[in-house]
Amino acid sequence: MKNEIKIFSPATVANVACGFDVLGFCLDSIGDEMVIRKTDKKGIHITKIEGFDLPFEASLNVAGVSALAMYEAANPDCGFEIEIYKNIKPGSGIGSSAASAVGSVFGMNELLGKPYNKTELTQFAIKGEALASKCEHADNLAPAIFGGFTLVKSVSPLEVLEIPVPENLYATIIHPQIEIKTSESRAILPKEVPLQDAITQWSNFGSLIHSLHTSDYDLIQKSLHDVIVEPYRSKLIPHYREVKESALQNGALGAGISGSGPSIFTLSKGLENAKNVKEAMEKVYSKTGITFEMYLTKINTEGIKIL
Ligand code: HSE
């Protein structure tokens, strides 16, 4: 059995407009790399972090906390070293903490001979994610582990449903280089919602799931609306309305806040449309003076993988 493994832990988009805290999908071209190594010395030790300034103390690091949760459950006769090569900026809205949280447990599981299934790995990773967002939810974790679109049917007990990915679906994402902390963008949300808004939201959510099962792009377009969370969080993202309108006018099926922001995601049918959407969003933001990154990717159906 191997003693060391290098993995790619992908970025993800959570919420997907109408699926707050339950729906997410996996991205292809952006993610973190991590090296996990078995050691004689017991315990979890983070030995290297590149890319961003994050704590080395395992109990204070998202990857460390999920690793500790699994380590306590597995009680192996070895320890683990973790190296983190972080490409996803913390506070970006594309699942930075989730990528860290799943990376450590996925790597350790491989080195232990895969004692845990994907749902169990997600369960351990929830502990790490909770350190960052102050709340246990799995809508970024599940797509990173399972790939594709995932629906977190329930957190306790954890139940994840895999939703089919229409063949010709592309995501374009703009990431303004400002940081929004998940815990803070959760704190501004209302505790109660009007019944009419709830009705609209679950109608859109149900039809979005149906549209993904049937590859019905028109229905995807009609379903990608969020009347509950977007009105609050969009205020935190500079030029949100202009970017969204420009994406929709240039052929996007829909657009919304990626996770807790500030990234904005769009979905498009076909690469050409996705490229036009990218150009349109880029045009809006290049006039603002705010630096930004852009990503155009197919939906990653594989999820986290060994490199
Ligand atoms: N569903 C979460 C939120 C994703 O929007 O707060 C970010 O962790």
Give 202-221 pLDDT, tens digit per residue.
999 999 999 999 999 999 99
Q: Is residue 15 within 6 Å of ligand 1 at its C-beta?
A: yes
pTM of the model: 0.96
Instruction: Return d(Cα 209, Cα 213) in angstroms, integer.
Output: 6
Mean pLDDT of 100-129: 97
* Domain range 4-163, its CATH number among 3.40.47.10, 3.40.50.2300, 3.40.630.10, 3.30.230.10: 3.30.230.10
Mean pLDDT of 193-197: 98
Probe residue for ligand 1, chosen from 12, 16, 20 as the CB with the greatest number of ligand atoms within 8 Å:
20
| 160: DSSP letter | E
For ligand 1, atom 4, the nearest C-alpha belongs to: 259
**What pLDDT score does 133 carry?**
78
Mean pLDDT of 87-116: 96
Q: Band the pLDDT of 292: cuts 50, 70, 90.
A: very high
Q: Is residue 186 within 6 Å of ligand 1 at its C-beta?
A: yes
Is there a catalytic annotation at residue 200? no
For the chain, the average pLDDT equals: 96
**What pLDDT score does 191 carry?**
95
Q: Is residue 260 within 6 Å of ligand 1 at its C-beta?
A: yes
Q: Is residue 258 within 6 Å of ligand 1 at its C-beta?
A: no
pLDDT tens sequence across 58-96: 999 999 999 999 999 999 999 999 999 999 999 999 999
Q: Band the pLDDT of 42: cuts 50, 70, 90.
A: very high
Mean pLDDT of 224-244: 97
Q: Band the pLDDT of 54: cuts 50, 70, 90.
A: very high
Q: What percent of the chain has pLDDT over 70?
A: 100
Given 129, 150, 230, 266, the catalytic residue: 129
Mean pLDDT of 143-168: 97
Mean pLDDT of 149-162: 97
Q: Is residue 140 within 6 Å of ligand 1 at its C-beta?
A: yes
Q: Band the pLDDT of 141: cuts 50, 70, 90.
A: very high
> How many angstroms is it from 21 CA to the middle of ligand 1?
6
CATH 3.40.50.2000 fits 169-298, yes or no: no
Given 12, 150, 172, 182, the catalytic residue: 182
> How many angstroms is it from 182 CA to the middle of ligand 1?
6
Q: Band the pLDDT of 134: cuts 50, 70, 90.
A: confident
Instruction: Return d(Cα 35, Cα 5) in angstroms, integer.
Output: 6
Q: Which atom of ligand 1 is nearest to the CA of 98?
A: 8
Is the alpha carbon torsion for 121, 123, 125, 127 positive or negative? negative
Give 13's contacts (C-beta < 8 A, 6+ positions apart): 24, 25, 27, 94, 95, 143, 171, 173, 258, 259, 263, 265
Residue 2's region, left for phi above 0, alpha for psi from -120 to 50, else beta, is beta
**What pLDDT score does 57 carry?**
96
Q: What percent of the chain has pLDDT over 90?
A: 94
Q: Band the pLDDT of 136: cuts 50, 70, 90.
A: confident
Probe residue for ligand 1, chosen from 126, 133, 151 as the CB with the greatest number of ligand atoms within 8 Å:
133
Q: Is residue 233 within 6 Å of ligand 1 at its C-beta?
A: no
Q: Is residue 226 within 6 Å of ligand 1 at its C-beta?
A: no
Peptide bond before residue 231 is cis, with ω within 30 degrees of 0? no
Q: Is residue 139 within 6 Å of ligand 1 at its C-beta?
A: yes
H, E, C per residue of 13-53: EECCCCCCCCEEEEEEEEEEEEEEEEECCCEEEEEEEECCC
Is there a catalytic annotation at residue 129? yes
**What pLDDT score does 135 carry?**
80
**What pLDDT score does 179 carry?**
87
**What pLDDT score does 43 carry?**
97
What are the domain boundaries of the chain?
4-163, 169-298
